[in-house]
Amino acid sequence: MKIDKSLYTKEEYRKLKREKQQRKIAKAHARKLKLNPDAHQINILCLKHGAKYDSSYVNKLFSACKKHCSLDFKFFCATEDPQNLLPGIDVIKLPKSAMSGWWYKPWLFSSELELTGTILYLDLDVVIADNFDRIFSHKPGQWLICRDFTRAMRPQWEKFNSSVMRWEAGDHEFIYTNFISNAMANMRRFHGDQDWIWEQGKHVATYFPDEWIRSWKWEIRRTKNFKPGGTRGNRILEQIESVTPPPECCICVFHGDPNPHRCQDPWVVKNWHELI
C-alpha cells in the first residue's frame, strides 16, 4: 500500500518509507531462504589492497573470527596479493580498475563476487572482543552498518562507518552500479567510501546497536592524545592504558591512528598482537 505523504511530517514519512523498504527486504530474504538452501551460507569478508596492511592483518582477523564465532562460516579476502594468507582463507581477486583502497568497498556489493547468503564485511583494523554470533542473528535479512564514531562527540550523529557491515548477497548492488557508472566523478565528489555508501543507503540500511561495536580510541580509552612528532598514519598514543571493552562490546574498531600493531594497551597486545 502506498504511503500518503500528506498525513505525515517529512521526518515521519522518511521513517515509514525506510521501514517499508526493510520489510520488503526481510520478505525477500525469507523467500530466498526457502528457494535457495545456499542462502543460509554465512560469509565473512575483508578487503586487502595495496601495502597499507600486510597478510598478518588478514590472518589475525581470520584467527579471531574462528575463536569468537561459533557458527559455520566461510572466510574471504578480496585482494590482488594473496601471498602468505593462511589455509582456510578463500581469495576473491580484485578487478583491475581505477578503484583503489577504500574505493573498492562499493564493489563488494557487486554480484561479481559470486557469493550467496549473508555477508559480514569487517575492516582489517578491527579487533574482535567477544563472541559475535549475534551480529548475524540481529534483524535477519536487513542491511546493517555501524553508526559512525563521531557519535562519541555528537550523540545524534547519523552517518555510517563502513568498518562493519552486513547484508544479503545481491540485495544492494546499486551501491556499486551507481558508483561505477561515473567512478572518477564520484571519487572526486565524495571524501571516501563511507560518504558514498551513506548517500546511497541512508534510507535503506539500519544500524547495529552502538554498544556492540566500539571505537577503541574514542569510546573505550580515557585519553586520545598522540605522542608529539608523529605523522598521520604512523602516530602512537601518548599513554598506555589498561582498559577493557565493556561486556556488551564484541568488536573494537581502530579507525585512523593508531592501527592495532602500533597500540601497546595490554588488552590489545593480548587480543591482537598475540594472535597467530
Q: What is the pLDDT of residue 97?
A: 76
Q: What was the pLDDT predicted at 233?
A: 87
Handedness of CA 29, 30, 36, 41 (dihedral sign): positive
Dihedral over alpha carbons 130, 131, 137, 142 (to 10 degrees): 40
Superfamily designation of domain 5-210: Spore Coat Polysaccharide Biosynthesis Protein SpsA; Chain A (3.90.550.10)
pLDDT digits 0-9 by tens, 158-187: 999 999 999 999 999 999 999 999 999 999
Locate 237 and state its grid cell.
598514543
pLDDT per position as a tens digit, 231-258: 988 999 999 999 999 999 999 999 999 9
Between 2 and 104, the more confident residue is 104
Residues 6+ apart with CB under 8 A from 139: 206
Mean pLDDT value across the chain: 90
79-91 tens-digit pLDDT: 999 999 999 999 9
- Sequence-ordered strand ranges (E) for 3-151: 42-48, 74-79, 89-93, 118-122, 126-128, 144-147
Q: Which helix (H) or strand (E) holds 252?
A: strand 251-253
- Least confident range of 6-15, 37-46, 168-177, 194-203: 6-15
State how far the Cα of 60 lies from the Cα of 128, in Å rounded to an integer.
Answer: 10
Angle CA 15–182–174, to nearest 5: 40
Every domain of the chain and the residues it spans = 5-210
